[in-house]
Structure 1
Amino acid sequence: MIISASIQAANQLNIIKDIHKHESKFDQIHVDITDGHFTDNISMSFQHIKEVKKQTNYKVDVQLMVEDNVKLAPLAFEYGADLVCVHSESTKLDDFIKLSKIYENLGVATLPDTDNESINDYLLYSKAVLLLAVNPGFSNQGQAINLIDKVKSFHNLYPNFNGDLIADGGIKNEDLDNLKINNVDIAVQGGAIFN
């Protein structure tokens, strides 16, 4: 299982230094980009993707928590993202399909209260599925749902999905073994790495 470090939880005054300081704890970098509309706050920017790619050797996966994914997903790839997950709640299926035909490494993400059943039609075009267990926007939150239950539900519904399953939100070190046992491919951690 790959550990992806959410730099939203890093020291915002010196993110690159903090990445190097904790580099033994993770395998790649996770960037959350919010727009203040889909979420209540604005967090990281596309420039963060560019700087991480420029100043480190890590792959970067991005979660876009924005309203206009048609416009912003291409920007994330342009700035160097290796994988971009857009939310089903703000991306119409036909827009997702169009994006997936241009960008191979596109994934679909869901909010905590979004049912796994709702993304069925996205999966054929999706390289990854990100299950978010916290309400979006801020780091170091407790989980709003039982993440393991949602992971198990996903596998029961979609046993033949061959993309990456990403678990994100409030994941502590003691949760990692259980996620791995339940076939999570990538676990996103923020506070557990940087605090």
Structure 2
Amino acid sequence: MTGPDIVIAPSILAADFANLAAEARAVEGAADWLHVDVMDNHFVPNLTIGPAVVASLRATTAIPFDCHLMIEDPKRWAPGYAELGAYNVTFHAEACADPVALARDLRAAGSKAGLAIDRDTPVEPYLELLPHFDTLLIMTIKAGFGGQRFLPELLDKVRLARRHADAGHLELRIEVDGGIADDTIAAAAEAGADAFVAGTAVYGASDPAEACRKLRALARAATR
């Protein structure tokens, strides 16, 4: 695995949208990625931000962007986020007819490629596609809204994916998104996740950078 052993990715969905640039800078030096939730009010019943906001925010911080597209028709839109400079662009398996082709398009456009699996979607049908991806994002809530309760039973998907990735010697990040906080990150790390999206646990804290450092320490301690 290249890069840090543990990736902490604060979600700007939990940040103050009136001060996004300042919120991004608040975790510089402590976060590895900035998780950017893109929702279209079609694939999920919520509407957040799009390419124009991502382009503006990209110019304000050096933190790599981890764009999570909860949208219909990712084939049309996803490469544009790579072209804007996103480090990793993740789209949902449920929204894409040919995930492998879109992964190739993303890499050609300059980003890593991620595949997301929602709460009610089994991971087994997608295990054989994982060599074509850099990141597998497993939702530990239902995609669409922040602040939901972590569902520990979904870690069975993480365990299965980690066993498959290790058996195949894959260079794959397994990312978890939903309800990650001080009291849940250890279980996710023990299950095999190595990238963690945290919203309110970071941006609801008085010191977001220190919250990132604490989450990292808890994840590392759980895997020693």
Contact 1:69 1:90 (8 Å CA) reproduced: yes
1:36 deviation in Å? Answer: 1.0
Q: Which residue of 2 aligns with 1:103?
A: 106
Q: 2:86 aligns with which of 78, 81, 84?
A: 81
Q: Which residue of 2 aligns with 1:166?
A: 175
1:90 deviation in Å? Answer: 0.7
Deviations 1:13-58 (A, max 9, x none): 1111122334465222001111111101111222332233211110
Q: Which residue of 2 aligns with 1:190?
A: 199
Report which stretch shifted further, 1-10 or 141-150: 141-150
Instruction: Provide structure 2 residue ranges, at least 5 long, that are not aligned to the other structure.
Output: 1-5, 205-224
Deviations 1:154-194 (A, max 9, x none): 22344323211111111012322333333322100001000
Q: Distance in 2 between matches of 1:169 and 1:101?
A: 27
Q: 1:120 aligns with which of 119, 122, 127?
A: 127
Q: Which residue of 2 aligns with 1:70?
A: 75
Q: Distance in 2 between matches of 1:101 and 1:18?
A: 32
| Inter-CA distance 185–48: structure 2 relative to 1 (3 Å threshold) | farther
Structure 2: which amino acid aligns with 1:162? E
Contact 2:127 2:161 (8 Å CA) reproduced: no
1:145 deviation in Å? Answer: 5.1
Q: 1:49 aligns with which of 41, 54, 72?
A: 54
Q: TM-score, normalised by structure 2?
A: 0.79
Q: Which residue of 2 aligns with 1:153?
A: 160
Q: 1:34 aligns with which of 28, 39, 44?
A: 39
Q: How many aligned residue pairs are there?
A: 193
| Inter-CA distance 34–83: structure 2 relative to 1 (3 Å threshold) | same
Structure 1: which amino acid aligns with 2:146? S
Structure 2: which amino acid aligns with 1:103? L
Deviations 1:96-128 (A, max 9, x none): 222222322111100011111021242131111
Tell me the secondary structure at the aligned position of residue 167 of structure 1: strand
Instruction: Provide structure 1 residue ranges, at least 5 long, that are not aligned to the other structure.
Output: none
Q: 2:139 aligns with which of 128, 132, 138?
A: 132
Report which stretch shifted further, 96-105 or 121-130: 96-105
Contact 2:139 2:178 (8 Å CA) reproduced: yes
Structure 1: which amino acid aligns with 2:50? S
Structure 1: which amino acid aligns with 2:162? H
Q: TM-score, normalised by structure 1?
A: 0.90
Q: Which residue of 1 aligns with 2:185?
A: 176
% identity of equivalent residues: 27
Structure 1: which amino acid aligns with 2:119? P
| Structure 1 vs Structure 2 CA RMSD | 1.8
- The reply to whether residue 19 of structure 1 matches residue 46 of structure 2 is no
